[in-house]
Structure 1
Amino acid sequence: MRSWLMATGMTVALMASTASAWAEPVQKIGFVNTDKVYRESKDAQSINKTLEKEFGSQFKQLRKLEKQGIELQKLLLSNKLPPAEQKNQQERMAKINKEYLALKSATDEEYSLRRNEEFASMQQKANQALIELAKAEHYDVIVKDVVYVRSEFDITDKLIQIMNRN
Structure 2
Amino acid sequence: MQTLSRLCLPALVALSTLLAPALAAADEVKLGFVNTDRIFREANTAKAAQSKLEQEFSKREKDLTDMGAALKTASDKFEREAPTLSESQRAQRQKQLVDQDRDFQRKRREFQEDLNARKNEELQQVLERANRVVRQVAEQEKYDVILQDAVYINPRLDITDKVIKALNAAK
Class of the TM-score when normalised by the shorter of the 2 chains: 0.7 to 0.9
Aligned Cα RMSD in Å? 2.9
Alpha-carbon offset, residue 116 of structure 1: 2.1
Q: TM-score, length-normalised on structure 2?
A: 0.72
> Aligned residues, how many?
152
Q: Name which of 145, 149, 160 aligns with 2:164.
A: 160
Q: What's the offset of the Cα at 1:101?
A: 1.6
TM alignment of 1:53-132, pairs within 5 A: 53-76=55-78, 81-84=83-86, 86-132=90-136
Normalised to the residue count of structure 1, the TM-score between the two structures is: 0.74
Displacement, 1:161? Answer: 0.9
State the percentage of identical aligned residues. Answer: 27
Tell me the distance in 1 between the aligned counterparts of 2:25 and 2:148: 22
For the pair 1:45 / 2:19, whether they are aligned, the reply is no
What is the CA–CA distance in structure 2 between the aligned matches of 1:23 and 1:88, rounded to whole Å?
Answer: 84
Aligned pair in 2 of structure 1 residues 83, 44: CA closer, same or farther (>3 Å)? Answer: same
Larger gyration radius, structure 1 or structure 2: 1
| Cα gap change, 1:78 to 1:145, in 2 (>3 Å) | farther
Stretches of structure 2 lacking an aligned partner (at least 5 in a row): 1-17
CA distance in 2: counterparts of 1:78 and 1:155, whole angstroms? 61
- Structure 1: 5+ residue stretches without partners: 1-15
SS of aligned partner of 1:64: helix
Paired AA for residue 120 in structure 2? N
Report the CA distance between 1:137 and its aligned residue: 2.3
